[in-house]
Amino acid sequence: MRSDTSAGSGIAQADIDALTIIKYPDLRLQKASAPLAGLDENVRRLVDKMFELMFQAPGVGLAAAQVGINARLFVASPTCEQTDRRVYVNPEIVSAEGVQEEEEGCLSMPGVTSRIKRPATVTLRAIGLDGQTFQETGEGLLARVFQHEMDHLDGRLIVERMNSVARLANRRAIKDLEDPPASHA
């Protein structure tokens, strides 16, 4: 990978220190992310900031799209341990099998949860911060994290995966995100 990577993705222009997790219905969450051409110091700073935000939230995964950066990159820590830091640049799912249906939430849609059906085992190919391509197979929660974050990179939210009963059960939380109550300042 080239080292002049971040220019096209908006990383170079971003105030990384000021980034926050953006919330639905922000339109940036519905935009497919662009591949990174390489790794540079801006990408590494972005990754550090994403881990900081994810652990503060707390969450187990965070896509660059969720901080308003249009780049095919996500971080994960399925154990929620500070030492478990996984980075996936330009990831792609190479295989998926089985079925699992578990409760899922999203840092960009606080208060919204639903049982989502997804493949139980997923193999992902990505590039690490060292610039090397690797493959990782995840089962259970890790497979779910892979798929959830890949959805973000494709501009897709969990509300699009919910059945009609789940949408109905979450209608108040979704409406509150769409039309937040006015503050009384």
Of the listed 136, 149, 160, 178, which one is catalytic? 149
Report the Cα–Cα distance between both ends of the chain, in Å, rounded: 49
Q: Which residue has the tokens 């949408």?
A: 167
- Identify the bridge partners of residue 55 per DSSP, sorted by sequence position: none
Residue 149 annotated among the catalytic residues of the structure: yes
Buried b (16+ CB within 10 A) or exposed e, 135-165: ebebeeebbbbbbbbbbbbebbbbbebbeee
Q: In a 3-state reduction of DSSP, which class is residue 126?
A: strand
Q: How far apart are CA 165 and CA 101, in angstroms?
A: 15
Annotated catalytic sites, by residue? 149
